[in-house]
Amino acid sequence: MLAPELLRRFDVHGPRYTSYPTADRFVEAFGPDDYAQALRQRGEGPASVQPLSLYVHIPFCESLCYYCACNKIITRHHSRAASYLDYLGREMDLQVAQLGPDRNVSQLHLGGGSPTFLSDDELAQLMAMLRRSFRLVPGGEYSIEVDPRTVDSARLQAIAALGFNRISFGVQDFDPDVQQAVHRIQPAGQVFALVDEARRIGFESVNIDLIYGLPRQTAESFARTLAQVGRLRPDRIALYAYAHLPERFKPQRRIVPAELPDAGSKLGMLSAAMAAFENDGYVYVGMDHFALPDDPLAVAKRQGRLHRNFQGYSTQPDCDLIALGVSAIGRVGATYSQNAKTLAEWCDLIDQGRLPVARGLALSRDDLTRRAVIMGLMCQGQVLFESIELAWMIDFRSTFAAELEQLQDLEQAGLVQLDDSGIQVTANGWYFVRAVAMVFDRYLQADRHRKQFSKIL
């Protein structure tokens, strides 16, 4: 159990580090032509033989969840999906024209929005387009996010038949009063039945998403949800803190602020969740991810093989990510890129025959060096000075003298250990690994930038 004073002291605002530099540092000066050049270089260089990761963003949802901060389009008009799929196919053609055909893919993730807004036939159409453009290799990780309200047993079987072997259910909370407050009603029995069916069908991994800090949540109600999750026993659990930012996310303006738990109650829920998951035998993978001991994510953590990308922790090797769809973020070589955030702008760029990139970033040598350090901390929980020095031809202690001095406070708090060979994150430090990584974030040195991020716990 973490000490309350540690939770209070280090629950600060900070990035999730699915990338470094973080997406708020992307610039509009990086556009379609820059991304096309990155694709060509990747397609022609030695990296061309390495498998890719694919992310496809499906923005549509039938119903608005008040807590949501995702890029989504609320509509009951399923006819809109047909046009969207047409534009996705055209975007694939534009990317493949620069990258080259039949590139191997070892990871695929469909996110949203609600990917299951698409019908079975539309999902099949999307998978057929992907297989025409790329080669999905045997043994890859092919995952889909599922809104439990949009699927039944037959749909789960259809999803598995398309090649998906990993599935994630958005639960958030089982308490009916909380569900009403966030406008997402889904009975616990429905979720239990779907998880049982997913296991029977043979999905290799079932993930459950939870959120703490939602309106009307109490210590007692959340304890009941945690007990239900323990009985459900998913392979993986993602536990997110709700960040109430109504000035940035309009749906959150429908949440009654007086119904939100206070900071102390939120930390109590987090502490209770950590204790419950530990008692149920889950391994704390990092940040907000937990997994059963025999899950590949937990195994990768033990073996020092964790990786991190825009979808979070992964067992797959660090690889270039091709992003498709409105607002999707990708990484190719030493560049990041993000597609246009509005459907109209995304479609307009594709109609012009241009890659629909609205902004991005070409990483500097300093960015790449710091990314190696931050990802070492986030994934392996350690940084060996010699490995960074050999890879980037620097003297670690002089290059990061100021950062090493800052780490002394974290060392005194028991979050890291420093010696002549490197930096080691402690068992307690894993819960605050974002705070450790932030020390090496050159863009976060001024406090004025930090409030735009959620708190790290």
Feature table: binding site for S-adenosyl-L-methionine: 55, 67-69, 112, 145, 172, 184, 209, 243, 329
Residue set of the binding site:
55, 61, 65, 67-69, 112, 145, 172, 184, 209, 243, 329
Give the distance from CA 202 to its chain's centroid: 24
Residue 137 to residue 456: CA distance in whole angstroms: 36
Nearest to 44 by CA among 447, 332, 326: 332
123 close to 68: Cβ distance less than 8 angstroms: no
169 close to 197: Cβ distance less than 8 angstroms: no
Handedness of CA 194, 200, 203, 209 (dihedral sign): positive
Whole-angstrom CA distances from 148 to 161, 171, 209, 243 are 18, 8, 11, 23
130 close to 164: Cβ distance less than 8 angstroms: no
407 close to 416: Cβ distance less than 8 angstroms: yes
Residue set of the binding site for [4Fe-4S] cluster:
61, 65, 68
Strands 134-146 and 382-384 come out as: unpaired
Whole-angstrom CA distances from 306 to 136, 186, 247, 302, 312 are 22, 33, 35, 9, 10
Residue 298 to residue 283: CA distance in whole angstroms: 6
Residue 116 to residue 329: CA distance in whole angstroms: 20
Residue 68 to residue 184: CA distance in whole angstroms: 11
Provide the angle, in degrees to the nearest 10, between the axes of the packed helices 343-351 and 80-99. Answer: 50
Residue 385 to residue 248: CA distance in whole angstroms: 40
